[in-house]
Amino acid sequence: MLVLLESLAFYRNVRVGLVAGAALAVLLYAVRTLELLGPVIDTREYPLFGPDAWFLLLAFVLAATFALLVAIALTVAEAVRGARDMSGESEEGGE
C-alpha cells in the first residue's frame, strides 16, 4: 500500500493541497474580516461567538475540504498519467 501511495505521489499531493487550502481560507477570511470588498451588513445574530469566530471555523472547514479536493485531483491525475505511461510501454513492447 505504501508503494502505491508513493508511486502516486500522494504525500506530495497532500502537502500541495494543504498549502492551497490554507491559502484560499486565509485569503477569503482576510477579505471578510478586513472588509476588502466593502462593509458587511450584519443582519444576523451569531450565537455563542461573534461573526469573526464563526467565519474562522468556516475558513477551517473550507481549507480542509479544498485541501482534500486538491489532493484527490492531483492523485487521480498522477494515476491517469501513470496508466498512460504503462499503456505506452506495453504498446512499444508488443512491436
How is the chain split into domains, by residue range?
2-39+47-84
pLDDT in tens, 29-85: 888 888 877 777 776 787 888 878 888 899 999 999 999 999 999 999 999 998 888
pTM, to two decimals: 0.76
Quote the CA–CA distance of 48 and 45 in Å, as a whole number. 10
Whole-number pLDDT of residue 52: 80
Of 70, 68, 67, 60, the C-alpha closest to 25 is 60
